[in-house]
Amino acid sequence: MADDAAALSISVGPITQARAHDGWASAFAADLRYPLVTIMKACVFKAIGAPLEVIELPDPVAGPGELVVRVKACGICGSDLHAATTAKAKLPSGTVMGHELAGVVDQIGTGVSGFERGEPVVVMSYLACGECAKCRAGIGVRCEAMALIGFGEAPGGYAELIKTRPGSVFKMPETMSFRAGATVEPLVVGLHGLRRARFQAGETCVIMGAGSIGLMTLLWARFAGARAIVVSELLLDRREVALKLGADAAVDPRMHSPAAAMTRLTGAGPDVIFECIGEAGTMAQAISHAPRGGRIAILGVSMEDDGFPPALAMSKELEINFSLGLAPGEVETAIAVLASGRLSTNAMITHSVGIEDLPRAFAALTKPAKQTKVMLEF
């Protein structure tokens, strides 16, 4: 433990000693001026362009109505990379990022029932307030005062422990791996997108972008019984992953129109276009790819103006749905489908790192890379 501590930048004096020397800890505990505080490792954002840093923080303590979960696996998400490299995202220095995680219940605050210490859970990316009408009715996914974890509003999962609330915590079967549990959050994003587009068995779709959200959408489209799926993606490695996961065709949009590829496959344009990129102009592209009467679901989060032509969307009578939130039951559905093995996200997890290696792995991902989903594991 002491040599671990030496390798880290240590932010707290007496607290560090409390863990490094257990004898001292009990001495501190006996002396009320030094209540026993244990510490955890966490990986924090420092500044745009600077590497993440592994530091030590006091363990979170579950207050009334709260739970503390011991993190077992946490995925690195494209929006983490985006937030850490884009000034517009205004990520505060010192933020513990990470919002795709699974672990075990570690502490149960007063007034919380229905959880047991040590049971495996998925922690969702939002923090339900626990007090609004929706939370009191047991539907934390619709919380009226929702905060996001991992982006500065509340600490995220790049840490040994995370404080959360029951409305954001979902039980997962013992038989399911924590790695799989950590893919529930992005998987739910894909499921919600399919539902927003009312995608049905026998329909066809174009998926723009084969990052993790695009690939999760692909998994659900197959699961839902798509007749044909065309993926549009700039990077060759990602196109190959998309084909491996069941796309019928994967095109480089600089060379081939995905809508034309769909017409070659089925004789008609796509019923639905899933925009899973979120860059300036990608909405306009989705509109240009859509046939008359087509449906578009926008899953890619863009901070930029898009500038799409309303007249074109109107002349095609497109139906455009934005997809961000989640509906009650969707998290449970994603967990059940993963646990039963009817859908697997395993092939998407290409690398796993410990917390000490997370800053290096994170920096590598900020450049176009082969990795699809990198998992922090404890």
Binding site for Zn ion (CB under 5 A): 77, 79, 128-129, 132, 135, 143
CA distance 243 to 246: 5
**Minimum CB separation from Zn ion for residue 106, in Å?**
23
DSSP characters over 143-197? -TT-EEBSSSSB--SSBSEEEE-GGGEEE--TTS-HHHHTTHHHHHHHHHHHHHT
Looking at residue 91, the DSSP 8-state letter turns out to be P
* 18 neighbors 28 (Cβ within 8 angstroms): yes
Q: How many CB atoms lie within 10 A of CB 198?
A: 13
Q: Which is nearer to Zn ion, 165 or 295 (CB)?
A: 165
Q: Which is nearer to Zn ion, 241 or 318 (CB)?
A: 241
Q: Which is nearer to Zn ion, 271 or 330 (CB)?
A: 330
Q: Which is nearer to Zn ion, 135 or 169 (CB)?
A: 135
Q: Which is nearer to Zn ion, 135 or 182 (CB)?
A: 135
Residue 187 neighbours by CB under 8 Å, 6+ apart: 216, 219, 220, 334, 338, 343, 345
Q: Which is nearer to Zn ion, 142 or 295 (CB)?
A: 142
Q: Is 67 helix (H, G, I), strand (E, B) or coil?
A: strand
Helices (H), the chain: 2-6, 13-20, 22-30, 78-85, 133-136, 178-181, 184-196, 212-223, 236-244, 258-266, 282-289, 310-315, 330-339, 358-365
Q: Is the dihedral of CA 164, 168, 174, 179 positive or negative?
A: negative
Q: Which is nearer to Zn ion, 128 or 365 (CB)?
A: 128
Q: Which two tokens stand for residue 24?
A: 């001292």
Closest CA to 258 of 288, 278, 236, 237: 288
**Minimum CB separation from Zn ion for residue 111, in Å?**
15
| Total residue length of the chain | 378
Q: Which is nearer to Zn ion, 73 or 135 (CB)?
A: 135
The one-letter amino acid code at 46 reads K
**Minimum CB separation from Zn ion for residue 173, in Å?**
23
**Minimum CB separation from Zn ion for residue 144, in Å?**
5
CA distance 214 to 286: 14
Q: Which is nearer to Zn ion, 213 or 318 (CB)?
A: 213
**Minimum CB separation from Zn ion for residue 259, in Å?**
28
Residue 76 neighbours by CB under 8 Å, 6+ apart: 98, 361, 362, 365, 373, 374, 375, 376
**Minimum CB separation from Zn ion for residue 3, in Å?**
34
Q: Which two tokens stand for residue 181?
A: 């549990």
| Greatest CA separation for the chain | 78
CA distance 57 to 377: 18
Q: Which is nearer to Zn ion, 135 or 276 (CB)?
A: 135
**Minimum CB separation from Zn ion for residue 374, in Å?**
13
**Minimum CB separation from Zn ion for residue 334, in Å?**
14
